[in-house]
Amino acid sequence: MYEKLQPVAEDPILALMARYRCDTHPNKLDLGIGVYKDEQGKTPIMQAVSSAERLLLAHETSKSYIGPAGSEGFNRLMAQLVFGGDHTVIREQRVVSAQTPGGCGALRIGAELLASCSPTGRIWVSDPTWANHRPLLAGAGLEIREYPYYDAEQRTIRFSEMIDTLNRAEAGDIVLLHGCCHNPTGADLEPAQWRALAELIERRGLMPFVDIAYQGLGEGLDEDAYGVRYLADYLPEMMVATSCSKNFGLYRERTGALFLIGRTASQTERAGGQLFSRIRSHYSMPPAHGGAVVETILDDPRLNALWMSELNAMRERIRYLRHQLVDRLEHAGVAGDFRHIRHQRGMFSFLGIAREQVVALRKQYSIYLVDSGRFNLAGLSNRSVDYFVDALAQTVG
């Protein structure tokens, strides 16, 4: 049976991680994989998470099944986090929430449902987008199309080309949008651009699918949710996938949520029934632990405040590193324009260097970034910034 199967092409980011682990250079730097790291290069468990886990261990009384939708409390609190407590869609009961196995689980199960109801079965994604979007969405049967997004020369968003392309999309097409901290570019839409996009989506009869995997890591929890909240207010229907991997540091616990917004409460409820039935036939129900941790934190004012202060510190560290890096690059006179890195958001930006230079950084300095030149700001530290800048000065000139 299996002899027909071909070897799978190596995943570039996982391959990079494997090479990094084997590297013995004392100053080696991992700027590839998208996880948050602290000044010591560690990805620690957040204190709010550890405290919530201790509470759960002391008080949890059952490991019985939780059902396809996951925990009702988690779903309610997550909807409040993403949309804001008094959002119209919550008041009008036009949102159905499902706890999912990470943001990936939310994207895949959302795509499964959309593939069964979109008349065109087509989804538009940004060029470029996160590498896993394609397999997740195409695996559900959606046909993938691209809209222009990032201008690598100008280091800005190609907004008018994006609008022109989406103006040619057909009614019923789905549009995937990054809620904040665009992966891989770090270039986010401004409020006025979200508003123009909402108008276009309504006029063309498109269906928005927002992936917001980094809420709180850009400008702040509310600021980062501007786009998703605006679209939810303006449009009758949408789908939203979120993740607790980054903002709660729960990566391996596979914790996320999917929100389905419908035109009316009864239509939303009916669509929700279909969603839960898809979940039942895919993975039956989500893992409980990560969701229980998040619910415990969001439901407890003391833990909530602790979590927010830890999240603020993560966000501020990334923003500080953005400025430090560009200041030092400019000070060292490294050739190139790096100013975009200062104001972009989230963990990623493109350095804007050639592929050969990325390879040279890896071979000569043991600095690992993705071939496209995307790098994770959180992989830097106050100490390693100088090493990185020196290596760039030698490599780029």
Q: Any bridge partners for residue 203, and if so which?
A: none
Residue whose CB is less far from ligand PMP, 102 or 262? 102
Does 246 qualify as catalytic in the annotation? yes
Q: In the complex, what is the shortest distance from the CB of residue 381 to ligand PMP, in angstroms, rounded to a whole number?
A: 21
Q: In the complex, what is the shortest distance from the CB of residue 211 to ligand PMP, in angstroms, rounded to a whole number?
A: 5
Query: d(Cα 2, Cα 375) in Å, to the nearest integer?
Result: 37
Residue whose CB is less far from ligand PMP, 211 or 295? 211
Binding site for ligand PMP (CB under 6 A): 34, 102-104, 130, 178, 183, 211, 213, 243, 245, 251, 256
Residue whose CB is less far from ligand PMP, 70 or 256? 256
Catalytic residue among 30, 173, 211, 224: 211
Q: In the complex, what is the shortest distance from the CB of residue 241 to ligand PMP, in angstroms, rounded to a whole number?
A: 7
Q: In the complex, what is the shortest distance from the CB of residue 100 to ligand PMP, in angstroms, rounded to a whole number?
A: 9
Query: d(Cα 310, Cα 249) in Å, to the nearest integer?
Result: 11
Catalytic residue among 28, 173, 224, 246: 246
- Among candidates 127, 178, 180, 181, which has minimal Cα distance to 152? 127
Residue whose CB is less far from ligand PMP, 129 or 268? 129
- Among candidates 27, 9, 28, which has minimal Cα distance to 19? 28
Residue whose CB is less far from ligand PMP, 183 or 381? 183
Indicate the residue type of 350: F
Q: In the complex, what is the shortest distance from the CB of residue 213 to ligand PMP, in angstroms, rounded to a whole number?
A: 4
Query: d(Cα 164, Cα 152) in Å, to the nearest integer?
Result: 19
Torsion sign over Cα 43, 72, 137, 85: negative
Q: Any bridge partners for residue 257, and if so which?
A: 99, 242
Strands 207-212 and 122-127: unpaired
Q: Where are the alpha helices (DSSP H) in 283-354?
A: 289-298, 301-331, 340-343
Catalytic residue among 124, 130, 194, 307: 130
Tokens for 339, please give them.
């100013």
Residue 271 · residue 84 · CB < 8 Å: no
Query: d(Cα 166, Cα 257) in Å, to the nearest integer?
Result: 27
Q: In the complex, what is the shortest distance from the CB of residue 287 to ligand PMP, in angstroms, rounded to a whole number?
A: 12
Does 363 qualify as catalytic in the annotation? no
Query: d(Cα 234, Cα 186) in Å, to the nearest integer?
Result: 25
Residue whose CB is less far from ligand PMP, 146 or 170? 146
Does 211 qualify as catalytic in the annotation? yes
Q: Which residues are catalytic?
A: 130, 211, 246
